[in-house]
Structure 1
Amino acid sequence: MEYTCIDSFCGAGGLGFGLEKAGYKILLSFDIDQLCINTIKANNQYFHHPAEVADIADMLSGKLLKKCGLKRGELFLLAGGPPCQGFSVQRRGSDLDPRNDLVLKYGKLINELYPCYFVMENVSGLGGKRGKTILEELIRSAEAIGYIVHVKLVDAQEYGVPQRRKRYIIIGERQDIHSFYEYPKVSDARITVRDTIGKLPEPPVDGTDYPGISWHRRDKLSELNLKRINALKEGQGRDDLPFELRADCHKVNSSIIGYRNVYGRMAWDEVAPTITARFDSFTRGKFGHPDQPRSISLREGALLQTFPMDFIFTGNKVDVARQIGNAVPPVLAEQIGRSIITCYEKAVNVGDI
């Protein structure tokens, strides 16, 4: 059996990389972001499949089937994480974000391809006020064409990722497969910040890469932010800053206005906070290095997302931080991928397929 896969909304390839390690043959990756496609093509030590710039609308009406030389029902797995900013709990404003519609277009692609399984990753906000209606519509449409849909909010730290990261993992299995899907078992063990980046050398003070380690450089902090980070011990956040060093908007306790974990340092012997698309900024989260006067480097963020040390990222600093922060951690993706294959093979062995 060849476990074929199409990686839609592929981003920098975190989901695809994990699925490849789990034993899948990726037929195609596509994303609307040229830089993400450049990143996948740059990593030919890991990826050997076609990758192209495309909107999901470009793949509907039978175009993706034709492009991959498939008939409806032949694909084993359709994978993807439609952009999730419209559901983010951090987002304010209208619920009519056009990106929300991408989840429903993903549902249309599921219908056209009719794979044995599909997997969709999205932020925890998908189950909240903004996303719940759309998630329910996706589930109804998939069930109507013969899928059993499983929905679980998982925390990546329970699956070998050194980071608190809650995301919905939605698995659909065709009813004719009879595989009775089960999510991978959680682990009580935790991989810490120290385990992951503790042995990296300190990057140069001049802002250049440490020799031989791409994107391991320090971001320049303002004089005020340098005072702030030097006033903090590992694991501390903005509530621990001396009053005179707090931003004006933070002079009210975080229990009242929120945003506890900004202007903070990571703790060596805990998992990291969620690596976001702006983890390169000390002001955006608890992204300070545990004991050095700097934010974590882009390479350190990539390692906390479980990308390998030699994984190449293309674009400028902001582009790379976005690609890393938006990715599915490959270690989590690999476990999800393996769990699907395990359930399928159990069904084969008992003769249900």
Structure 2
Amino acid sequence: MKQFTCIDLFCGAGGLSLGLSKANFNIKIAFDNNEHAVSTYNNNFSHKAVLESVENINSNQVLKSVGLKKGELDLLAGGPPCQGFSIQRRGDDNDSRNTLVLEYARLLEELSPKMFIMENVTGLQTKRGKVFLDEIIERAQKAGYKCHISILNAADFGVPQIRKRIFIVGEKSIGTESYFKFPEKIFEPNNYRTVWNAIKDLPQPPDNFKDHELYPNHRKERLSELNRLRISHVPQGGGRENIPEELRLECHKVSVEKAGHRYVYGRLEADKPSGTITARFDSFTRGKFAHPFENRSITLREGARLQTFPDDFVFLGSKVEVAKQIGNAVPPVLAEHLGHALNLAISKMDKISMV
């Protein structure tokens, strides 16, 4: 089977690259501006990730470096940072990260690949993000692409996590027919993969707070006695409302409805998928990230399992940096399903072009 070429922008640790590689894409080069993510990427792939901000990327130099001409690249991939569009975010709409999606559009126009795929949070469709979404679509259409938009739940494709993200796919117009179709979901809520499916075979993380000798990134977080006592009161699926009032933070002594953030100090349910693994899943104080049975936060490796990274994928950096890399990634299993759909579409497009 022919390998198709791909460039991955905003590659992070490489979740999207990993899935696309398994779907027979040859990632020629990748880019990110986070040095820890780039280190992790280059530690796990044979091809190179470059530490560079997208606004500084010169498309002509990139094409020359990978031996391609404009229009020869099969796929441009990437997910611009999404925090600026998050529905949980408050503050200035003029977040500087928002304009990065337009840099993606610039490189799309300059590279002119056969197809592109962009991932983002569903907030891109809300008032905060819609102006950017509309501009991306308009510029892609002017550049000759038919665009497809869908919100996919990773759990529908075998990821043990409820994670909804928007995907925008464009294909170079060839006649009136469309060749790309989003993959059909494989799982239903009654047979979703669960937290326990994903992590039950992992051994206990060492008590010395170091990585397990056989499982990289599998280590305990240091917890205060008070936080251990707090989490001991929380049942599976529960949160701060289950903690006795005398043990709660002052800001949590009002009702959940008034205080908000109801899922902090929460515990995962073993027989269900997790909620969305975020960039701060390393602490149960920030969400429903406590182990289903043990009085601790899930480890970085357990979070990576819930994101469907294999155990031989080693993350580099501090605990906070690694959690960010894992939480921001496209789950590789979902990326692989999308990759097969993209692969099929490009194959059909190439056959038509040869006629």
TM class by smaller structure: over 0.9
- Which residue number corresponds to residue 282 of structure 1? 284
- Measured in 2, the distance between the counterparts of 1:61 and 1:346 equals 27
- Measured in 1, the distance between the counterparts of 2:352 and 2:63 equals 31
- Measured in 2, the distance between the counterparts of 1:318 and 1:347 equals 43
Partner SS for 1:100? helix
- Which residue number corresponds to residue 3 of structure 1? 4
8 Å contact 2:179–2:348 — kept in the other structure? no
- Which residue number corresponds to residue 97 of structure 2? 99
- Measured in 2, the distance between the counterparts of 1:2 and 1:263 equals 46
- Which residue number corresponds to residue 334 of structure 1? 336
Corresponding position: 1:168 with 2:166: yes
Q: Paired residue for 2:79, among 57, 78, 81?
A: 81
Superposed, 1:36-55 pairs within 5 Å as 36-43=37-44, 47-55=45-53
- Which residue number corresponds to residue 122 of structure 2? 124
- Measured in 2, the distance between the counterparts of 1:337 and 1:6 equals 13
Q: TM-score, normalised by structure 1?
A: 0.95
- The structural deviation recorded for 1:62 is 2.4
Instruction: Tell me which amino acid in the other structure corresponds to 2:148.
Output: H
- Measured in 2, the distance between the counterparts of 1:308 and 1:269 equals 21
- The structural deviation recorded for 1:159 is 1.1
Instruction: Tell me which amino acid in the other structure corresponds to 2:214.
Output: G
- Which residue number corresponds to residue 14 of structure 1? 15
Partner SS for 1:109? helix
- The structural deviation recorded for 1:237 is 1.4
Instruction: Tell me which amino acid in the other structure corresponds to 2:18.
Output: F
- Measured in 1, the distance between the counterparts of 2:160 and 2:4 equals 28
- Which residue number corresponds to residue 184 of structure 1? 183
- The structural deviation recorded for 1:352 is 8.4
- Which residue number corresponds to residue 208 of structure 2? 206
Alpha carbons of 1:61 and 1:211: their partners in 2 closer, same or farther (altered >3 Å)?
A: closer
- The structural deviation recorded for 1:157 is 0.7
The C-alpha deviation readout for 1:201-236, integer Å capped at 9, x for no partner, is 111223122222121111111222111110112221
Corresponding position: 1:70 with 2:71: no
- Measured in 2, the distance between the counterparts of 1:96 and 1:347 equals 39
Partner SS for 1:287? strand
- Which residue number corresponds to residue 235 of structure 1? 237
- Measured in 2, the distance between the counterparts of 1:342 and 1:190 equals 26
Q: TM-score, normalised by structure 2?
A: 0.94
- Measured in 1, the distance between the counterparts of 2:6 and 2:353 equals 23
The C-alpha deviation readout for 1:158-207, integer Å capped at 9, x for no partner, is 11111111111110111127443211111213110010001211112231
The C-alpha deviation readout for 1:37-58, integer Å capped at 9, x for no partner, is 1112211xxx221221111122
8 Å contact 2:234–2:266 — kept in the other structure? yes
- Measured in 2, the distance between the counterparts of 1:232 and 1:33 equals 36
8 Å contact 2:114–2:346 — kept in the other structure? no
8 Å contact 2:217–2:314 — kept in the other structure? no
**Root-mean-square deviation (Å):** 1.7
Partner SS for 2:174? helix
Q: Paired residue for 2:111, among 110, 113, 116?
A: 113
Alpha carbons of 1:61 and 1:302: their partners in 2 closer, same or farther (altered >3 Å)?
A: closer
8 Å contact 2:266–2:287 — kept in the other structure? yes
Instruction: Tell me which amino acid in the other structure corresponds to 2:9.
Output: S
- The structural deviation recorded for 1:350 is 7.0
Aligned residues: 350
- Measured in 2, the distance between the counterparts of 1:133 and 1:197 equals 40
8 Å contact 1:60–1:108 — kept in the other structure? no
8 Å contact 2:174–2:349 — kept in the other structure? no
Superposed, 1:216-227 pairs within 5 Å as 216-227=218-229
- Which residue number corresponds to residue 149 of structure 2? 151
Structure 2 portions without partners, runs of 5+: none
- The structural deviation recorded for 1:9 is 0.8
Structure 1 portions without partners, runs of 5+: none
8 Å contact 1:60–1:112 — kept in the other structure? no
